[in-house]
């Protein structure tokens, strides 16, 4: 049965910051499991793996990465890093924590929040 959060291996590679062949390697190694069809994976499982393998330092200047760090997140929202941390600490802004302690924010979620803030003030 295909999970509700099924994603393609192409999207999994974007979330993990790696190639499709690396995603296939993670499946072979048992670090990821195919969901329903052999080509789909659980988004939640992929995001969980990303918290240990995602090379966030490589994507600090990228505009297409799935994850962003605090500095980039604050820029997307138009707030300073201190305010970003206040919002995250108060549970008003979702984030995940990489195994090295770095907070990672989903770029698409930040864009949604930024658009909502802009619409609210216009």
pLDDT over 60 at 15, yes or no: yes
Q: What is the mean pLDDT of the chain?
A: 90
User: What are the pLDDT digits (tens) for 41-81?
Assistant: 999 999 999 999 999 988 666 778 999 999 999 999 999 99
Q: Which residues are CB-contacts of 101 (< 8 A; sequence separation ≥ 6)?
A: none
Question: What local confidence, expressed as pLDDT, does residue 69 receive?
Answer: 95
Q: Which candidate, 1, 3, 27, 2, places its Cα nearest to that of 13? A: 27
% of the chain beyond a pLDDT of 70: 91
Q: Which residues are CB-contacts of 55 (< 8 A; sequence separation ≥ 6)?
A: 17, 18
pTM (two decimals): 0.85
SS3 106: strand
For residue 5, name the pLDDT band (cuts at 50, 70, 90): confident
CA distance 3 to 43: 9
Element (H, E) at 40: strand 40-42
Residue 93's CB is within 10 A of a number of other CB atoms, namely 20
């Amino acid at each position: 049965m295909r999970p509700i959060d099924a994603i393609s291996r192409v999207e999994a590679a974007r979330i993990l910051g790696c190639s499709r062949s690396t995603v296939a390697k993670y499946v072979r190694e048992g670090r990821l499991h195919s969901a329903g069809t052999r080509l789909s994976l659980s988004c939640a499982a992929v995001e969980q793996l990303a918290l240990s393998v995602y090379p966030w330092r490589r994507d600090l200047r990228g505009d297409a990465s799935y994850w962003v760090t605090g500095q980039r997140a604050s820029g997307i929202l138009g707030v300073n890093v201190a305010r970003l941390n206040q919002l995250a600490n108060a549970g008003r802004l979702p984030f995940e924590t990489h195994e090295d302690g770095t907070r990672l924010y989903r770029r698409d979620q930040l864009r949604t929040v930024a658009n909502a803030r802009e619409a609210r003030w216009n």
